[in-house]
Structure 1
């Protein structure tokens, strides 16, 4: 799919009710974690940590932290036994994050205050990563996000849990909404509001269908990702690579990774 449209997503709107946003994020966290969406990119992330000398992944735009535990486990299996992850977002989700932090005994922590991915506070260090959220940024903002990582001299990985194919859009309209209706009662932590706005007033599934469809249409291709990286790093301070990694059962992850050129062997 080469089409790329700049449509809006409900979760990006400042006035969008937080209870609906949280319900949508809970669904994404459950699905990404259950399916192990980002397991295929663990070697890339592990290499980024090794090349930059970091042991912590600084996750930007973390949402509800979906898949983070899977990523941590995979990282530790790929030569990073001391790896930790710090979750950050412009719209923090401390309730969801606290649950993850407890389960991982603090290996996955979080910053409770809002963090702008375009201007990350210098005290928040680590190899930067953004999962399933880079498409939210229009080109100028996406370039600024990458430029901020270059300016800070830290590595960065951009990962989207799709290959941008029409079949993925079809799944977003058919199979995934049914899965959401069937699985919602099993999300943890339990929230009564999630049931109300899924079954009685189905705002969560309807907004999820819209946002999921728009996410695919807004995704950058691998060539566009490299173009943004080169525009953000005109002096070539970083080494960049972009591509797709396929999960063993079929789905793809689109990625862009970059780290300081001085780390190249």
Structure 2
């Protein structure tokens, strides 16, 4: 699917209730982590980290940290990356969800409690930057600015979307995934009474998840558009870039862009 529509997602809106946003992010973290969606990109990240000599990942737009735990632990099993650590950041920080990841990984995953703008990352947050399931939120000018900030600061960056941008993925977002959300919500931790209320009594979390999930696929950049943005962000060709798709062994695809200094 080459079509890209710059529609809106509710979670991007400043007035959107934080309790609903947190419920949506918790569900996505649970699903992405449980299904190990981002495991296919571990070799890509390993190569980039080794090429840059980095032992620190700064995750931008982390949401509730979906996918981070599995990827970080897999990377820490690789030679030369045993001391890898991850710092979660977001414009809308979620320290309660991040604290759980910090405890489960014995501190391998930490977080920045202050808001962090992915288009102007503080110099003190040095490390290889990653963006999981969030790059599609940025319209072209902002997406280019995000990449340009990494180039300007000489920070390698990996952009990963947990889909291949196919019509059948939208069908899943309308049918199977909402049913799964109703089934798994009681299992999600940390426990929140509000999550149960807004899932089963007043089902705002599932309804907004369906909308945002559909729009996410329509807003995704395919590999050729990712490379075009990278070239605009790096006119002096300071970085080495690659983009494409990798497939999970049971079917789903991950779309990616990876760049680091030559």
* Shared fold, TM over 0.5: yes
Q: TM-score, normalised by structure 1?
A: 0.98
* 2:4 corresponds to: 4
Match of 1:121 in 2: 122
- Superimposed CA distance per residue, residues 24-80 of structure 1 (whole angstroms, 9 cap, x where no aligned partner): 000000000000010000111111111111101100000000111100122123332
1:141-176 per-position Cα deviation (integer Å, ceiling 9, x unaligned): 000000000000010000000000111000000000
Q: In the alignment, which residue of structure 2 is the partner of 1:248? A: 249
SS at match of 1:244: strand
Partner of 1:239: 240
- After the TM superposition, which residues 171-186 of structure 1 pair with which residues of structure 2 at under 5 Å, given as runs? 171-186=172-187
Secondary structure at 1:256 match in 2: strand
Which residue of structure 2 lines up, in the alignment, with residue 93 of structure 1? 94
Superposed displacement of residue 93, structure 1: 0.2
SS at match of 2:159: strand
The correspondence of residues 120-139 of structure 1 with structure 2, limited to 5 A, is 120-139=121-140
Task: Using the TM superposition, name which of 67-76 and 127-136 deviates more.
Answer: 67-76
Q: Could you tell me which residue of structure 2 aligns to residue 36 of structure 1?
A: 36
Q: Distance in 2 between matches of 1:245 and 1:59?
A: 20
Aligned residues of 1:43 and 1:78 also touching (Cα < 8 A): no
Q: Which residue of structure 1 aligns with residue 84 of structure 2? A: 83
Is the aligned partner of 1:26 residue 2:26?
A: yes
Do the aligned partners of 1:42 and 1:78 also contact (CA within 8 Å) in 2?
no
Q: Which consecutive residues of structure 1, in runs of 5 or more, have no partner in the other structure?
A: none
* Alignment RMSD: 0.6
Could you list the per-position Cα deviations for residues 128-152 of structure 1 after superposition, in whole angstroms to 9, with x for gaps in the alignment?
Answer: 0000000000000000000000000
Q: Distance in 2 between matches of 1:78 and 1:252?
A: 23
How many pairs were matched up? 261
* 8 Å contact kept, 1:27–1:184: yes
Q: Which runs of no fewer than 5 residues in structure 2 stay unpaired?
A: none
| Whole-angstrom CA distance in 1 between matches of 2:78 and 2:12 | 34
Distance 2:123 2:45 in 1: 21
TM-aligned CA deviation for residue 95 of structure 1: 0.3
CA–CA separation in structure 2 for the residues paired with 1:69 and 1:220: 25
The residue number in structure 2 matching 1:65 is 65
> Matches of 2:77 and 2:162 in 1, distance apart?
21
Matches within 5 A, 1:135-150: 135-150=136-151
- Report what 1:213 is aligned to: 214
